[in-house]
Amino acid sequence: MPFAPLHNDTFLRACWRQATDHTPVWLMRQAGRYLPEYLATRAKAGSFMGLATNVDYATEVTLQPLERFPLDAAILFSDILTVPDAMGLGLSFEAGEGPRFARPVRDEAAISALQPPDLDKLRYVFDAVTSIRRALDGRVPLIGFSGSPWTLACYMVEGAGSSDYRLVKTLMYSRPDLMHKLLALNADAVAAYLNAQIDAGAQAVMVFDSWGGVLADGAFQEFSLAYTARVLAGLKRNGVDGQPVPRIVFTKGGGLWLDAMRGLDCEVLGLDWTVNLARARALVGEGGVGAKALQGNIDPNVLFAPPARIEEAVAKVLQDFGAPHTDRTTTGPTHIFNLGHGISQFTPPENVAALVAAVQGQSRVARGVRSPGL
């Protein structure tokens, strides 16, 4: 399937730790409820799943933020829970309550009965990837994604979001053998799912370990990090167009384990707002073997401040990362600007515009690059 040549490769260059003219920027959950046009499309679709499972609607909402803001990447509009849904757990979204599974798995019989997902049931995701890639027409790269094995297990056992993770941690501590069985199944399913996205046209893939940070030290390495590593080991290295596909891992609350994450076989580590970028750069962004590009990590709530304060907060994040890599003959420390977690549905769109303009303008000045059109 031929795709248009890529016109803006800034994001991909930064993933590979190559010099760029500005710090690339995209936002987690950039296609979402803070945009009135998204709300209008969701109303037409009738429900979140009606939106996510309709290729035309998923394409439309993925491109909506790019029509407003000069972002450097698009991310597939979907949900992290499509994989367990395809395992037959019965995913639904209730207004004001978030995702819920009709048939959670909490004992040996339920876990033993689980089967790998039928990827044909997820064809709507892969068709959306291809549709979005074509609609982008080479404007920016497209990121595919999945939840991590541990994060999926949290929802699968709890049956919904949780404030204390009591059920999933009870299973983990009382029957670690069952938890390992579930996580192994999830890891192989996630790898197959991401590979299918790559085959459909994804140009980068991201693993969201949204709940890795709720684990104790030691438990994180055993029940989250090890299975994220298993996913990464199973991923294809090149896309359908023959180009290499960078891999991003984001663990919310994972700043304690950056030294361990340097060993992950991925190109980019996402960071939440609790992590100091200078420290992260020193730990995992410098040197040769194992060095990562860094992604993040402004607090999403900064976007509720006036534009002048947003610009100051952007400056601090860029300064914390430090001098940008500018030598195009070598690789070196690179930064992809993002939020430390997903954007709030209450965010004023004009404040997002201020953030994107600040990132691109300030980072060009730091490199001595004139802004386009000047």
Q: Which residues carry out catalysis?
A: 29, 33, 42, 79, 155
Question: Distance between terminal CA atoms of the chain?
Answer: 38
Which residues carry a binding-site annotation? Answer: 29-33, 79, 155, 210, 341
The answer to whether 153 and 20 are in contact (CB under 8 A) is no
Give backbone dihedrals phi and psi of 15, rounded to 5 degrees, phi first: -55, -35
Q: How far is CA 137 from the centre of its chain?
A: 22
The answer to whether 65 and 59 are in contact (CB under 8 A) is no
Helix and strand numbers (H, E) in the chain are 16, 9
Helix (H, G, I), strand (E, B) or coil at 224: helix
Please enumerate in sequence order all residues whose Cβ is within 8 A of that of 32, keeping only pairs 6 or more positions apart, or say none. 38, 342, 343, 345
Which residues carry a binding-site annotation for substrate? Answer: 29-33, 79, 155, 210, 341
Query: Cis omega before residue 297 (within 30°)?
Result: yes
Angle between the N-to-C axes of helices 123-136 and 55-68, in degrees from 0 to 180, rounded to the nearest 10: 40
